[in-house]
Structure 1
Amino acid sequence: MTPIVTVDLDRWRAGGDAAAEVLREVDAGMQRAGFLLVRGHGVPQGLPAAVRTAARRFFALPEDVKQRYATSVGGRGWIGPGLEANGYAEGTETPPDLKETFAVGADTRIGDATVDDVWFLGNIWPGEVAELEILMAAYTAAMHTLSDELLALFTQALSLSRNPFEGLASRPTWTCNINWYPPLTDLGPPEPGQFRIGPHTDFGTVTVLDREPGAGGLQVYTDEGGWEDAPYDPSALTVNIGDLLAHWSGQRWPAGRHRVLPPQESAPEEDLVSLIYFYELDHDARVTPLEPPIGKVGGLEPVISADFLRTRLDAITLG
């Protein structure tokens, strides 16, 4: 048994009884864990593998070369080791996460520097791995399309008469992180309480994860089962909701709490690359929580997307 259900978007798109069953599965799965495995996602076959190959070329570059593309959490470029600790987002003090990241994001500037210089930064591409720019353009376009479709799926799962996100995501903020988790042989033994990514929930609406399975891999938390290894399906993407969508749902659906285990002694040479697309909304989108009986908690205040996200990003940034 697993707390994460698998849904097929092709069955939902087909309509009728099959679609109704998918919607029931989505609501039940989200209430249980805030996670789904999603088949029928439409991402071109072979594209994630091509992105990984290019990313591994980048992460294998000497540190002084990667340093030319260095940035901080929330920026664009290389986020080196020791700069991020996701456990701080939920108030857990942990050593730095055991990973390196190459981050890209929304760059469609709106003409207001106070907004653009935070949410719509220009992307930085390594000349040493020229193919990465083209590959990531294709990959993030597929993720954007899928994320909009997932928001439509979620509103139907709650039997809403209209999709409120259609007016809130005309120029959304998003980030796509390529996370490299180095092997134990490179890092040495982890510190006590240190993870590849510490326990946390994501911040936005939906997160779409293409991951590799491993001994030091993803775990998901539920109240019923505690921490459990996340199931892996090579034909599916792992999807979880973040704090912003959980707030919108009136806490009917919990943000998916998760962590990535440290490298394991049983697999000392294991290195993993994950592709993580964090979708949000327009920076100035006003999100009004659903009241009961759809929502679980009444009286929650509306929030502005950018303000809501900023406090959480600041919490996980070290130094």
Structure 2
Amino acid sequence: MPSSVPLVDLSPWFEGTPAGRAAVAAELDRALRDSGFLLVTGHGVPGELRTRTRELARRFFALPEDVKQRYAVTVGGRGWLPPGAEANGYAEGTETPPDLKESYSSGADTGVGDPDVDGFWFQRNVWPAEIPELEAAANEYMARMRALSDELLTAFAVALSLEADHFTRHTGHPTYTFNINWYPPMTHVGTPAPDQFRIGPHTDFGTVTVLDRQAGLGGLQVYTSDGRWEDAPFDPAAFTVNIGDLMARWTGGRWRSTRHRVLPPDANAPDEDLVSLIFFYETDHDARITSLGPPIGHTAYPDVIAAEYLREKLDAITVT
């Protein structure tokens, strides 16, 4: 059965011809209506940067536990999220065992001048002294991801026949998070508990997520529109892109914020470990998200303020 997750080449968008941009925008609209997920090539992000960032992160995750503990934080913090810190299934209201992963989290760190806002959304990034090269690589990666995400949001607006800056006018000083996830092997974590995943079933919370993943037996699955869990296709040159709940609300339900999960370690590959680079893009913290009405959208969600909505979601998945 062919995958429900399509592949879109962004090259014609970046080449800038009206016909090329319109064609890419139409493909994005179809993908986000039908699947909520897609693979994108032609994005212009150097493969060397992706490889280097992943390799440096692996060096951090290989450090002794007591060294990593110096950087330990809870969900929403900047630093190391240890095993057991997060259970994404709670976002759906499902009691679930903790996710079988570790993360290193960074993000937007240039504040807006309001201590209450800056203290959570624009915290200072913390970098491990043991891996000094990680800071520069991660910062370059985040800059690339923010630029790509804004291009995607621009293409999204064109796809809906809106002004090109309809979404990006709300990303002048955005919040975003960059999580590097390490999914340890079964030889490290043991046999998973019932209904325990590397990441439990959930939807993302923001506008757009850009994922650089590795293929594996214990890898990404997406929930199809006809109610099946399906292995996500993999292309080493591509990013996996999906929208989150904020964007689904913004489009009045036209586009799908799709459930997904990362399978637990597989007994057939007990030594398999994977590292994913995940960029969660949002909006300005005080952006008011108002559903687009017909003919674009079909559901009038109540307005939300981005930061308030996202904070509730993050609190829901934090294991206390």
Distance (Å, rounded) in 1 between the aligned partners of 2:3 and 2:13 = 22
Provide the TM-score with structure 2 as the length reference: 0.97
Take 2:125 and 2:48, find their aligned partners in 1: how far apart are those partners? 24
Residues 4 and 224 in structure 2, CA contact (< 8 A), matched pair in contact too? yes
Q: Find the aligned partners of 2:19 and 2:120 in 1 and give their Cα distance.
A: 45
Match of 2:240 among 230, 238, 241: 238
- Three-state SS of the structure 2 residue aligned to 1:128 is coil
Equivalent in the alignment of 2:162: 160
Using the alignment, how far apart are the partners of 1:169 and 1:17 within structure 2?
26
Task: Tell me the residue number matched to 1:194.
Answer: 196
Deviation at 1:158, TM superposition (A): 1.1
Is residue 55–residue 132 contact of structure 1 (8 Å, CA) maintained in 2? yes
Structure 1 unmatched ranges of 5 or more: none
Equivalence for 2:71? 69
Structure 1 equivalent of residue 304 of structure 2: 303
Equivalent residue pairs, number: 318
Q: Is the 8 A contact 2:22 2:158 kept in 1?
A: no
Name the amino acid aligned to 2:297.
G
Secondary structure of 2:211's counterpart equals strand
CA gap of 1:112–1:16, structure 2 versus 1, over 3 A, is: closer
Q: Distance in 2 between matches of 1:161 and 1:113?
A: 33
Shift of residue 250, structure 1, vs aligned partner:
0.2
1:94 to 93, 96, 103: 96
The aligned counterpart of 2:174 is: 172
What 5-or-longer segments of structure 2 have no aligned partner? none
Identify the range of structure 1 (250-259 vs 9-18) with the bigger mean alpha-carbon deviation: 9-18
CA offset at residue 303 of structure 1?
A: 1.3
Question: What residue number does 2:319 align with?
Answer: 318
Matches within 5 A, 1:242-261: 242-261=244-263
Change (3 A) 1:283 1:19: same
Aligned to 1:36: 38
Q: Which moved more, 1:154-163 or 1:109-118?
A: 154-163
Q: What is the one-letter code of the residue matched to 1:88?
A: Y
User: Per-residue deviation at 1:167?
Assistant: 2.0
Question: What is aligned with 2:126?
Answer: 124
Residue 287 of structure 1 deviates from its aligned partner by 1.4
- The Cα of 1:225 is off from its aligned counterpart by 5.0
The AA in structure 2 aligned to 1:252 is R
In the alignment, is the contact (CA less than 8 A) between 1:42 and 1:142 conserved in 2? no
Offset, 1:22: 2.1
Q: How much has 1:110 moved relative to structure 2?
A: 1.5
Could you state the TM-score of these two structures normalised by the residue count of structure 1? 0.97
Q: Tell me, what secondary structure is at the counterpart of 2:178?
A: strand
In 1: Cα distance, 2:163 partner to 2:49 partner: 35
> Is 2:155–2:164's contact at 8 Å kept on the other side of the alignment?
no
Equivalent residue in structure 1 for 2:142, among 140, 143, 159? 140
Q: For 2:66 and 2:288, locate their aligned partners in 1 and report how far apart those are by CA, in whole Å.
A: 42
Q: CA RMSD in A?
A: 1.1
Secondary structure of 2:221's counterpart equals strand
Identical positions, percent: 61
Aligned to 1:6: 7
Say whether residues 1:56 and 2:58 are aligned partners: yes
Q: 1:264 aligns with which of 255, 263, 266?
A: 266
Match of 1:192, SS?
coil
Distance in 2 between residues matched to 1:233 and 1:22, nearest whole Å: 19
State the alpha-carbon separation in 1 of the partners of residues 54 and 194 from structure 2.
Answer: 30
Aligned partners of 2:306, 2:281: CA distance in 1, in Å? 11
Residue type matched to 1:296 in 2? H
